[in-house]
């Protein structure tokens, strides 16, 4: 990660850099021990979480992700589930929100049919899939609080 950060900064860029963990960004266990040095601290840990990932339980989030959120900003750059539901992301979004952590749902496309991936919509006129409706509902709930 240090080589990446140094290369980006050598161009004069001072933007926020999202730095992911291992295993398709689902494993943050080594993130803090490999955190790059950068004096302006314009770095964010990036994490992906799906119901089919290894770290997909509250106990895993608490043991592996919470230590990172306690030290650096974190963005869940991809969250989702492939079961045509929204139970997993509801629980995950509530947990992330309790840690003041941002999150983005994957994916705005109609190619996925639940079994192959998490599609937020069923058509490009923005008709939500059940998973997408659950995501939208949770965002409205968070906004009201």
CA triplet 77, 73, 68: central angle to 5 degrees?
A: 90
pLDDT at 143 > cutoff 90: no
Kind of pairing, strands 121-123 and 127-128? antiparallel
Q: What is the pLDDT of residue 114?
A: 73
Model pLDDT for residues 92-123, shown as the tens digit of each residue: 999 999 999 999 999 998 888 777 889 899 88
Measured in whole angstroms, the distance separating CA 143 from the mean position of its chain's CA atoms is 18
Peptide bond into 72 cis (omega under 30): no
Radius of gyration of the chain (CA): 16
Token pair listed for 46: 């990036």
Q: DSSP secondary structure string, 85-98? A: --HHHHHHHHHHHH
At residue 11, φ and ψ (nearest 5 deg) are -85, -5
pTM beyond 0.85: the answer is: yes
Cis peptide before 135 (omega within 30 of 0): no
Residue with tokens 């840990």: 45
The domain in which residue 115 lies consists of 2-144
Give the pairing of strands 127-128 and 102-105: unpaired
- Domain harbouring 132, CATH code: 3.20.20.80
What pLDDT sits at residue 3? Answer: 95
pLDDT digits (tens, 9 = 90+) for 8-67: 999 999 999 999 999 999 999 999 999 998 888 899 999 999 999 999 999 999 999 999
Tokens representing residue 65 in the block: 């992700």
Tally of domains within the chain: 1
């Amino acid at each position: 990660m240090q080589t990446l950060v140094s290369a980006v900064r050598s161009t004069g860029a001072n933007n926020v850099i999202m730095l992911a963990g291992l295993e398709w960004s689902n494993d943050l266990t080594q993130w803090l021990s490999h955190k790059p040095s950068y004096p302006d601290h314009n770095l964010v840990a990036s994490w992906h979480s799906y119901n089919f990932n290894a770290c997909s339980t509250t106990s895993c989030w608490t043991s592996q992700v919470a230590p990172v959120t306690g030290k650096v900003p974190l963005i869940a750059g991809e969250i989702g589930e492939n079961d045509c539901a929204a139970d997993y992301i509801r629980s995950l979004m509530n947990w992330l929100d309790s840690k003041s952590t941002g999150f983005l749902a994957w994916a705005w496309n109609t190619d996925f049919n639940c079994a192959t991936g998490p599609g937020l919509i069923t058509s490009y006129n923005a008709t939500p899939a059940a998973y997408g409706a659950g995501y939208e509902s949770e965002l409205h709930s968070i906004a009201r609080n």
